[in-house]
Chain A
Amino acid sequence: MARNTAWLNQVQEKPLDPAMPICDPHHHLWEFRHERVADRYLLDEILEDTNSGHNIVSTVFIECGAMYRKTGPKHMRCVGETEFVNGIAAMAASGLYGKTQVAAGIIGTADLTRGSKAGAVLDAQILAGGGPKGRFRGIRHSASWDADPIIPRGRLDPIKGLYLDSTFREGFAELAPRGLSFEGWCYHHTIPELTSLAKAFPDTTIILNHFGGPLGIGPYEGKQDEIFKTWRKDITELAKCQNVVAKLGGLNMEMNGFGWHLRPMPPTSDELVTAYRRYFEHTINKFGPDRCMFESNFPVDMVSCSYNVLWNANKKMAKGASAKEKAALFLDTATRVYRL
């Protein structure tokens, strides 16, 4: 039970197009996260969401600093997260919990600022995910940096300009030979740095997380229209890199500044569509459905709306698309990119 369940329950919607197969390519699993609305999000909890109306056939786990090993060399501790998730994936693959292949793909992390030495961690991650034929698909190393302390820098507290850093890039070069992908996560003002990284490594698939994090709190509060203009240009540039794929979602976080969680009632899917449409439309326009995938970013985005309402919003967003485009946006791009 999440802390805001009663609040979320105030808005009930019928799931739209409930038979359409969906791969949710971005969610977390964790426990003891008291700063989140769901401090436990393990198999039972995600199934409650994925079974709440939409047809979620598979999911991809994204690293979140969960279950790091307590002991052993520091840089290897993150391998515990992959082992943990591979265990949950095995539970789902037993079929005992229903049809959803939870964590069919696993994205872990590795500290790329260790340069080429990061390769050993990547190898350990591949093994922890069950070896070359297993579930491990790539890593995320966040560059969520902002000068203002009100903007969360996350667990890693990255340096400014991480994606431009030469040692980081030395580590990044270890991904392609292993066929691993990279999740790019930064704030809107850093998108050009991700573009530079993508140009420097055309053979590495980069998946842009959460629209490149358009911020809307602290120094960015009330400046969403102005920021949108720059964001628009930067996304257009990024989309020119054929090795980049965009995840559509993750705007429900506090830092995006929509303030849904502060309202007496959570948003309806219509309200979400109205607020987010320009981000989705521009990104789909520039990347094309073959390089776009809807994502839930749960349970982080649960702070603002339920899983059902979120996917209803995504479906409303895709209303004008052809059947083939919809298949790409909801399933095929994700299963292709993550080789599920």
Chain B
Amino acid sequence: MGTNDDWLALVTEETLEPDLPICDPHHHLWDFQLERVEPRYLIDELLNDTQSGHNIVSTVFIECGTMFREDGPEGMKPVGEVEFANGIAAMGASGLYGKTRVAAGIVGHADLMLGQAVGDVLDAQIAAGNGRFKGIRHMVTYDADPAVPNGRNINRPGLCMEPAYREGLKELTRRGLTFEGWCYHPQLPEMVDLARANPDQVIIMNHMAAPLGLGEFAGRRDEIFETWKKDYADLAACPNVIAKLGGMGMHYFGFGWQDRPKPPTSDELVTATKPYFDFAIEAFGPDRCMWESNFPVDKLSCSYNIVWNSFKKISKDFSADEKAKLFHDTATRIYSL
């Protein structure tokens, strides 16, 4: 049960192209996240969404600081999250809950600031995932504007420029693991630098690198769009970077859907987000793009059914082959599902 279920129910739509196979490569699972619209998002809640109309054949769990171990060495605490997600994945793999292979891939967290020592954590994560662990995210989302919330435990800018972080990243590359890049748009040049310095590291840019729309960034959408385009194009020029298309239902983007009397229709989402997505697909190409739900975070703004409807509307002029890549194949290739 979400806290905004009634509001979301004000807009319902028929599911578009309900047979098209989708891998949702970005969602979370958690409990007791009281600041979110879905404080509990475990297998039942996820399935409520994945079974709401679209053909979700598999998913990838992305770290969210959940179920960290209460005890033991600090660096190893995130291993609990991978064990937890792998347990849910096993439930999904039993077939008892329907066809969706929930958390067929697992992206955990490891503190890259541990430098070389993060290798032990990664090895423990690989063991905990028992075949499903694909990589990590160590977000660097930071902005000096107090209106922009910084990421978990992020207290300074430029984290991914620091030597320890870069040294930690090398341990990831050594093990052939993926890296989820997550920063705000003003930090894009740092991410570009990281990508160029680590050409053998697969980097999956989360949530369009978040062109911000709140605090000092509010009301400057056109201007920010231009800056974002330039930096995002630089990132796309790095062949080791993959783009996740989504996450625009988060409040950082400043669309303010959550404050309206009614949630957006997929048409409204298309109007607001298409310029960003069009640019991303043009820059990266369908081989390096994957649609993502970012649920239940994005549930703040719209339902699962409607967000995927908006993606399908934006993709409507692509060939069948390109659509297959955007909705499924790029994700299963990158995460080797």
Which A residues are within 8 Å of any B CB, using their own CB? 31-32, 66-71, 80-81, 83-91, 93-96, 127-128, 130-131, 134
Closest to B130 in A: A128
Task: Report yes or no: A31 in contact with B67, Cβ–Cβ below 8 A.
Answer: no
Whole-angstrom CA separation of A127 from B123 in the bound complex: 13
27 A-B pairs, CB-CB below 8 angstroms? A31-B96, A32-B96, A67-B93, A71-B93, A83-B87, A84-B91, A85-B87, A86-B83, A86-B86, A87-B84, A87-B85, A87-B86, A87-B91, A88-B87, A89-B83, A89-B87, A90-B80, A90-B87, A91-B31, A93-B69, A93-B70, A94-B66, A94-B69, A96-B31, A128-B130, A130-B83, A130-B127
Contact A68 B94 (CB under 8 A): yes
Interface string of B87-116 (1 = CB under 8 A from A): 111110111100000000000000000000
Instruction: Check if B71 is an interface residue, CB within 8 A of chain A.
Output: yes
Cα–Cα, bound, A80→B95 (Å): 11
Question: Which B residues from 61 to 91 make CB contacts under 8 A with A?
Answer: 66-71, 80-81, 83-91
- State whether B83 touches A80 (Cβ < 8 A): no
* Contact B80 A94, beta carbon cutoff 8 Å: yes
Cα separation A85 to B83 with both chains bound (whole Å): 9
Quick one: closest A residue to B83, CB to CB? Answer: A90
Q: Is B128 an interface residue (CB 8 A)?
A: yes
In the bound complex, how far is the Cα of B31 from the Cα of A96, in angstroms? 9
- Counting chain B CB atoms within 10 Å of each CB, which of A32, A81, A94 scores highest? A94
Which residues of B are found within 8 Å of A86, using beta-carbon distances?
83, 86-87, 128
Nearest 9 A-B pairs (CB), nearest first? Answer: A87-B87, A70-B95, A95-B70, A90-B83, A83-B90, A84-B90, A90-B84, A67-B94, A94-B67
Q: Mark B212-227, 1 if CB is under 8 A from A, else 0.
A: 0000000000000000
Contacting pair B83 A67 (CB below 8 A): no
Is the pair A96, B83 in contact by a Cβ cutoff of 8 Å?
no
Which chain A positions have C-beta within 8 A of B95? 70-71
Cα–Cα, bound, A96→B66 (Å): 10
> Considering residues B95, B96, B130, which has the most beta carbons from chain A within 10 angstroms of its beta carbon?
B130
Interface size on B, residues (CB 8 A): 26
Complex formed: what's the CA distance from A127 to B94 in Å? 18
Are B88 and A87 touching (Cβ within 8 A)?
A: yes
* A206 CA to B92 CA, complexed, in Å: 33
**How many contacts between A and B, using CB within 8 angstroms?**
84
Measured CB to CB, the closest approach of chain B to A300, in angstroms, equals 19
Residue of A nearest to B129 (CB): A83
Asked if B32 and A96 make an inter-chain contact with CB atoms under 8 angstroms apart, the answer reads: yes
Residues 115-143 of B, flagged 1 when their CB comes within 8 A of A and 0 if not, give 00000000000011010000000000000
Select which of B70, B93, B94, B96 is within 8 A of A94 by beta carbon: B70
Given pairs A67-B93, A86-B128, 20 additional interface contacts (CB within 8 A) = A66-B94, A67-B90, A67-B96, A69-B94, A70-B94, A71-B93, A71-B95, A80-B90, A83-B86, A83-B90, A84-B87, A87-B84, A87-B85, A87-B91, A90-B84, A93-B71, A94-B67, A95-B71, A96-B67, A130-B127
B91 touches A67 (CB 8 A): yes
Are B89 and A83 closer than 8 Å at their CB atoms? yes
Chain A residues with CB under 8 Å of B81's CB are 90
Decide: B94 and A91 in contact? CB cutoff 8 A. no
Cβ of A31: which chain B residues have Cβ within 8 Å of it? 91, 96
Which chain A residues lie closer than 8 Å to B96 at the CB level?
A: 31-32, 67
Tell me the minimal C-beta distance from A319 to chain B in angstroms. Answer: 34
Cα-based distance from A95 to B96 in the complex (angstroms): 28
A239 to B98, CA, bound (A): 47
Which residue of chain B has its CB nearest to the CB of A31?
A: B96
A32 to B44, CA, bound (A): 13
A91 touches B93 (CB 8 A): no
Closest CB-CB distance, B110 to chain A, in whole Å?
16
Complexed CA–CA distance, A91 and B84 (Å) = 6
Q: Which of A31, A32, A87, A95 has the most CB of B within 10 A?
A: A87
Q: Are A90 and B67 in contact (CB under 8 A)?
A: yes
Interface contact B94-A80, CB-CB below 8 Å: yes
Instruction: State A127–B86 Cα separation when bound (angstroms).
Output: 12
CA distance A330 to B120 in the complex (A): 37
Closest Cβ of chain B to A167, distance in Å, is 28
A2 to chain B: closest CB distance in Å?
18
Residue of A nearest to B69 (CB): A93
Report the separation of the CA atoms of residues A86 and B89 in the bound assembly, to the nearest whole angstrom: 11
- For B69, what are the chain A residues with a Cβ–Cβ distance below 8 Å? 90, 93-94
B residues 128-170 in Cβ contact with A at 8 Å: 128, 130
A93 with B130: CB separation less than 8 A: no
